[in-house]
């Protein structure tokens, strides 16, 4: 009973923090599906990765906040609908409510059918930015969670090596803890410029962090 009570307290505390979170309120006001949009916004405003005319792929895109933000970056007026200067392709194994102007493929990007669809959409073009907010379902066992996270980041890096333009960028979510230094090394071995970033919208008590790699070696 004690564990159950503690769990209820934790859930209530999280819910209270979430409801009162300024980024949650801002997301609701500005029409984003999740506060995660502001993490990408800060990263992009710092490094200028997504510009009008860009070709962007969003891995692990559901519920769609990163795709929404990217779509607005490619709009001449920064609008959520209407004219679009660029291409956004979103992929996820989960369903995602459509975002106007964003092409969505549901499935694992390693599967032949999805890979073939993506190849057709790319039509020989290279990608300017690969975005990955992918994360595993956490078990609470640090070593197992770190291994799953590392695997997802490695998949994103492999995808980027195959599809990025020479000066393109990869943004991935990571957890600061076991395996983090190895992932930074992987990025340094793969990219000319590597930038770890902890956006303000990423909760201070979270081990969540992001690594950006720019320009394939």
Kindly provide the b/e burial profile for residues 63-102, where b requires at least 16 CB atoms within 10 angstroms of the residue's own CB.
Answer: bbbbbbbbbbbbbeeeebeeebebbbbbbbeeebeebebb
| Residue among 9, 173, 185, 192 flagged as catalytic | 173
d(C-alpha 41, C-alpha 194), whole Å: 18
d(C-alpha 89, C-alpha 128), whole Å: 12
Burial of 110 (0-12, 13-18, 19+ CB in 10 A): exposed
β-bridge mates for residue 213, sequence order = 170, 194
Active site residue 173: yes
76 close to 52: Cβ distance less than 8 angstroms: yes
β-bridge mates for residue 106, sequence order = 92
- Residues marked active site are found at 173
């Amino acid at each position: 009973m004690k564990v159950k009570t503690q769990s209820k307290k934790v859930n209530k505390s999280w819910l209270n923090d979430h409801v009162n979170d300024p980024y949650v309120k801002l997301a609701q006001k500005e029409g984003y599906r999740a506060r995660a949009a502001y993490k990408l916004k800060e990263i992009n405003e710092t490094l200028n990765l997504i510009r009008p005319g860009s070709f962007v792929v969003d891995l692990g895109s559901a519920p769609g906040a990163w795709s929404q933000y990217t779509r607005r970056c490619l709009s001449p007026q920064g609008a959520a609908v209407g004219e679009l200067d660029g291409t956004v392709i979103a992929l996820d194994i989960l369903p995602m409510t459509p975002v106007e102007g964003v092409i969505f493929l549901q499935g694992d990007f390693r599967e032949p059918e999805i890979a073939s669809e993506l190849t057709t959409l790319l039509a020989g073009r290279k990608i300017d930015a690969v975005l990955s907010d992918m994360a595993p379902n956490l078990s609470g066992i640090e070593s197992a969670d770190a291994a799953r996270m590392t695997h997802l980041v490695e998949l994103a890096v492999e995808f980027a090596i195959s599809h990025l333009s020479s000066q393109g960028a990869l943004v991935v979510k990571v957890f600061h803890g076991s395996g983090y230094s190895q992932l930074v090394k992987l990025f340094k071995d793969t990219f000319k410029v590597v930038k770890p970033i902890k956006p303000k919208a990423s909760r201070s008590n979270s081990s969540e962090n992001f690594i950006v790699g720019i320009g394939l070696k």
